Structure 1
Amino acid sequence: MRCPCTSGDTYDGCCGPILSGAIAAPTAVRLMRSRFTAFVTGDAEHLLRSWHPSTRPAGIDLDPDIRWTRLDILDTVAGGPFDADGVVEFAAFFREDGAPGSMRERSRFVRENRTWLYLDGRLDV
């Protein structure tokens, strides 16, 4: 099965091990991809676990009527395995009530104790 993050890799070779907690995301982009996959699969636990405590909400209500279909990585700044922070700009595509939609965000990530965390994002950049 191909990974929902549209990397072209298999789920077990891409986001699966990150969502299960078997491995940590090695880069900000890989964490971004795993978070998109969490939206696709309805894994609110991974979304909360990968969110920085300083900006993490108490809970997440995922809309079951939204079907996420594609992720395009548009830009990255740092976010590598030895960086302390990084930025990932992406476009995410979805269908809601049969109608297509998209969102674009420039997300900030931080790396603490060798773990990448989503900090925050600016929509429609």
Structure 2
Amino acid sequence: MNDMLSELMQALANDSDILAIQRTGGLKSYSRYENLSGNSTSITITPTGPPEQTAMSSNDSLAKHFVYQVSIEAIDRLTVKKLQNTVENILKTKGFFQMNGGLDEYFSDTKRYVDARFYEGNSNLYENY
């Protein structure tokens, strides 16, 4: 069985800037690493729900539909924007596109900028996810 989240995480880690973030513990799924220092940049990928059946044929699903939230946090606003652009371009190569909604804010409590966006995509036909 394939795992789309692992595939996306690996695709992101192939980028040198994101690999550097991963090496500090800043690339994570589901939630930001709790022990990561407040001034460290982080990228968190969270599924918004389980994969959904799509491409129906003869009472069977031929593919899966995925929706992920990608949240980037950093103390520098332009770092967040640059990384979201990189993430968007990488996810496009995997067939994922940005959806409406998200978050673009500065949180004074954490002193970090946060840019969170939703991306959706489908598996290829006949792949087991």
Structure exhibiting the larger radius of gyration computed from Cα positions: 2
Could you state the TM-score of these two structures normalised by the residue count of structure 1? 0.38
The structure with the greater share of residues assigned to helix is 2
Relative to the length of structure 2, the TM-score reads 0.37
